[in-house]
Amino acid sequence: MPGTLVTVEGPNPCNCLPPAWMRGAFEGLPMSSERRRRRVLIVEDEPALRLSYERHFNPRYDLVFASTGAEALAKVEAEPPDVAVLDMRLPDTDGVDLLRRIRIRHPTLPVIITTAYMSIEPQLKVLDLPHSGYILKPFRLDELGARIDAVL
């Protein structure tokens, strides 16, 4: 009956193991999307920071690096990442402009901009760019990891 709460007593079906014949039936098949390492594009031109990102995140994510906006756009087109982390200051553009250009063909790709300037917040609001956010420098690598995990 609509609107009626029915309580079923018994074992939680989520805790039940599959029958023995089913266990291992999926071995050898491609990894599910949950188990696949998520592809993270990091756009950063500072070598020391790229090294830090690599050392910290490499086992956790499938990292792809770009050091300019043009290189980042090419990599997004070649194989779209699950999330992109853009430095605000790049040699050939800035993070917001790059985000705007990514949005043309990838409207839902999550993007995180790293910046030292609070002034980015009104910029992002005015441009009304969904699926995007920022993290203020200096931040800890674990904070960035938490932000990445939150949007994946």
Partner 1 sequence: MMATHDKARDLVAPQRLGLDTRVEFRQTAVQALEALPEGTGCLVIDLSNTRQVDSAGLGVLMLIQRRAAERRQAVVLRHPNDEIRFLLAITKLAGLFTIEPVSG
Q: What values do phi and psi take at 35, rounded to 5?
A: -90, -15
Alpha-carbon torsion angle 139, 145, 147, 150, nearest 10: -160
- Does position 142 interact with partner 1 (CB under 8 A)? The reply is yes
The residues facing 43 across adjacent strands are 66, 86
User: Interface with partner 1 by CB under 8 A: which range of 6-14, 46-54, 99-107, 126-134?
Assistant: 46-54
Minimum distance from residue 51 beta carbon to partner 1 (Å): 8
CA 126 – CA 35 distance, rounded (Å): 37
- Does position 139 interact with partner 1 (CB under 8 A)? The reply is yes
- Does position 56 interact with partner 1 (CB under 8 A)? The reply is yes
- Does position 60 interact with partner 1 (CB under 8 A)? The reply is no
Rg (CA), the chain: 20
Residues that bind partner 1 (CB under 8 A): 46, 48-49, 52, 55-56, 137-142
